[in-house]
Amino acid sequence: MSIFKARVKEFEDILTGPQDFIDLKQLRKLAFNGVPDVQSFRALSWKLLLGYLGPRRSSWTTTLAQKRALYKQFIEELVLPPGHESNGGGVDGGDGDKVDSGGVGLQDHPLSEGPESAWNTFFNDNEFLLQIDKDVRRLCPDISFFQQPTDYPCEIVVHSKGEHGRRLHERVVPAVLSSANVERKGLGMTKINLITKRSVENYAAMEEGQEAHWEVVQRILFIYAKLNPGQGYVQGMNEIVGPIYYVMASDPDLSYRAHAEADCFFCFTALMSEIRDFFIKTLDDAEGGIKFMMARLSNMLKSKDPSIYELLRSQELHPQYYSFRWLTLLLSQEFPLPDVLRIWDSVFADEQRFDFLIKICCSMILIQRDAILENDFASNVKLLQNYPPIDINVVIAHAGSLA
């Protein structure tokens, strides 16, 4: 039996075997070395490793049914324009806020400017929706996946029945996006080019009755921002949700793929609960903040290779010039998508979660040691901000060798 077939069998035994209880410790051990890109192994492993599904298999059907029904309610309450027919009631937002719905009263007239007006909220939402729209229209440009139509569009959204605004992109005009800034909650505006390095032609929207994958991702991010008003949307979240959605929406099991949007939303929410401090400026210096993470990387580099550390310091090539994006976006912009998925297998399987991420970042620098020591400041900035193509397994193996 080949090594690959042996690994596939190990995942089959743990994920599809007769036992009711999944051994998460064993799954982490297996996934850390990469999840085979066959069957539903990666999608199911990520759901387990991110805590969306519990280890008891018999609980999955109930959990999935409840979560998917809740997500459908989120769409009805938070995405559809005010005054649409709904089941009524309300949903609890991620920050404990009650999101109300219901019929259209006087305060819900589109011209009402009262703070309690549902339409006032609707129009205010468009401010952050502008940035989401801009970001998702250029997601993962190295593949065509996000431009393609989904086989499972959200029926209550794509069949608008002449009602404007059910499809989020209809609410905003891309032409006004050129001067958009990003606000990180806690301290003013942030320059967006520190985060993103991609700039390509925007993706187009689909006709009535269809929607592209990027439109689905837009809805996920919009709902997340609505449920987490204390944080809102920050540019870069699109790069976190993209790979998760790709995995869920590529699941060979069509019964799972049909619910990729809801499952992705809850996996993304679980991951964001762990990295949200990266996106909040007032927490940059906290233990989970991005400055703390960059300092850990610098300290590791200093202990592993003082020569590189001292050179970068003498060139005043500060960690924020490269590792801010590496760490904040979990390396999602530094490598092709298949390599990102492989990295995330290990990162999600790491019980300490981001210890191994820091090791990977450190290895990326150490592997380029000779070039870095020869380069001047400008060349090193270019090298680290546009990391050269490399076999990702070499980087991961190197990171695994770091104590």
**Model pLDDT for residues 219-267, shown as the tens digit of each residue:** 999 999 999 998 899 999 999 999 999 999 999 999 999 999 999 999 9
Tell the residue number behind the tokens 């060349």, with chain if given: 379
C-alpha triplet 270, 272, 278: angle, nearest 5°: 155
The whole-model pTM stands at 0.86
Beta bridge partners of 92: 98
Question: Which tokens belong to 251?
Answer: 């699941």
Domain extent listing, the chain = 41-81+116-171+211-274, 281-401
Confidence of residue 82 (pLDDT cuts 50, 70, 90): confident
Confidence of residue 193 (pLDDT cuts 50, 70, 90): very low
Which pLDDT does position 272 carry in this prediction? 95
Confidence of residue 175 (pLDDT cuts 50, 70, 90): very low
Which pLDDT does position 50 carry in this prediction? 97
39-77 tens-digit pLDDT = 999 999 999 999 999 999 999 999 999 999 999 999 999
Nearest to 243 by CA among 325, 167, 320, 142: 142
Average pLDDT over residues 3-16: 93
Question: Which tokens belong to 82?
Answer: 């005010």
> Does residue 88 have a pLDDT over 60?
no
Separation in Å, CA 376 to CA 155, 228, 272, 317, 361: 55, 43, 37, 10, 21
Taking the CB of residue 237, how many other CB atoms lie within 10 A of it? 27
Beta bridge partners of 212: 149
CATH topology of domain 281-401: Cyclin A; domain 1 (1.10.472)
Question: Which tokens belong to 171?
Answer: 């609410």
254-290 residues labelled b (16+ CB within 10 A) or e (exposed): eebbbbbbbbbbbbbbbbbeebbbbbbbebbeeeebb
